[in-house]
Amino acid sequence: MNWISKILKVGEKIKTNIQKKFPTKKQQSESKWISCCSEYPNLKSEIFNEEQLNTCPRCDRHYPFTPRERFNHFFGKNNYEILDTPRPPDNPIDWPDKIYEKKLKKARELTGHHCAVMVAQGKRDGIKITSFAIDSRFIGGSINNSSGEAIVSCFAKALEDKTPVLGWSEGGGQAMYQSGIALQFMVKTVLAANTFKKESGQPYINIYTNKVYGGITASFAAPSLSDIAFSEPKGTMIGFAGQAIVRNQTREELNSDFQTSSRMLEVGFVDAIFHRKEINDKIMNILKILLHKKNNEFEATDNNTKIREKISA
């Protein structure tokens, strides 16, 4: 036995021992239990049900919502239309051996949609709204050419129909498998959002949910771009580079609230934090104020403090 075979054998032994001690991802997904906040694991059925909306009843931790769950919750079950979005080439920078295509195929089978972004149009309280939501199960919610085009088409459709835009932002950033092509969608989505705001005069409300990082927070989900930026509470993390990267680069201990939504509220990155059970009503409150403001039915409300007073009332 040569030294390579010996090392491989030792490696296999370590792997087997680790597998014996820790459950695999498959075992975790098949388990009825989840470790959240309590000393003992919670039953998954306590958290993942219609009443709890995937939030923990004990600590209010918010677990991810898929785009369909989100639209069902916001517009009402199937009370919306999923819009078709462009389908540019899957492998524009020509990765060998179909590496990226295989990843896309797997993600499409898992989620049932073409890219990480879903766009829908529906009505709530009689107001027509165009909305996009990102699915982190789709390769970490990364923005490739298809997802970027979906965001652009959401703003374009909202501009055409003169509706507000409601964005549910999450995901790891731009798709590095598409390199510069994914990065240029940071520019394209910002231009789309700006054009929409300038030409339609309609509001754009952005909500941070789950984990929002990289090119997503730095482009169409930037708080400077949306009229209002809300966030879900515990479970939502907002930043550019992830905690581990920042810790390794700065070699400093990070505060326990680093990148949490509550910290982001303190520093003014988000305007308010709401529980999933009440966020839809709060969005509609602010939307009505903003739309009325445009029609001059409300006076001098374009000051953040007054808007905050109104939405937290």
Tell me which DSSP letter residue 97 carries. Answer: G
| Closer residue to Zn ion, CB minimum distance, 59 or 254 | 59
Using CB under 5 A as the binding criterion, the count of chain residues that bind Zn ion stands at 6
Among 54, 61, 70, 171, binds Zn ion (CB under 5 A): 61
Task: Please report, for residues 28, 253, 304, the alpha-carbon distance to residue 201 in angstroms, rounded to integers and kept in the order given.
Answer: 47, 44, 18
Q: Quick one: 36 or 154, whose CB is closer to Zn ion?
A: 36
Stretch binding Zn ion (CB under 5 A), from 9-17, 53-61, 68-76, 278-286? 53-61
Q: Which residue has the tokens 């060998």?
A: 96
β-bridge partners, 238: 212
CB of 54 to Zn ion, least distance (A): 12
Does an H or E element contain 128, and which? Answer: strand 127-134
Q: Which of 54, 56, 90, 100 binds Zn ion (CB under 5 A)?
A: 56
Nearest to 47 by CA among 38, 39, 56: 56
DSSP state of 53: T
CB 104 within 8 A of CB 90: yes
- In the complex, least distance from residue 37 CB atom to Zn ion, rounded to whole angstroms: 3
Question: Which of positions 202-241 make contact with Zn ion (CB under 5 A)?
Answer: none
The neighbouring-strand residues paired with 306 are none
Q: Which of 18, 59, 127, 187 contacts Zn ion by CB under 5 A? A: 59
294 binds Zn ion (CB under 5 A): no
Q: Which one of the spans 55-63, 137-145, 202-210, 284-292 is the region binding Zn ion (CB under 5 A)?
A: 55-63
Identify the residue among 58, 77, 87, 123 touching Zn ion (CB under 5 A).
58
DSSP, res 141 = G
- Residue 234 or 247: the one with the smaller Cβ distance to Zn ion is 234
> Could you give the CA distance from residue 169 to residue 228 in angstroms, rounded to a whole number?
13
Dihedral in degrees, nearest 10, Cα atoms 171, 172, 174, 177 = -120
**35 vs 312, which CB is nearer to Zn ion?**
35
Query: Measured from the CB atom, is 56 or 307 closer to Zn ion?
Result: 56
Question: Per-residue x/- marks for Zn ion, 13-52, CB under 5 A?
Answer: -----------------------xx---------------
Closest CA to 86 of 176, 158, 147: 147
Question: Are the beta carbons of 233 and 62 closer than 8 angstroms?
Answer: yes
CB of 21 to Zn ion, least distance (A): 24
CB of 46 to Zn ion, least distance (A): 9
Q: By the 8 A CB rule, do 149 and 184 touch?
A: no
Tokens of 86: 């462009």
**Contact positions vs Zn ion (CB under 5 A):** 36-37, 56, 58-59, 61
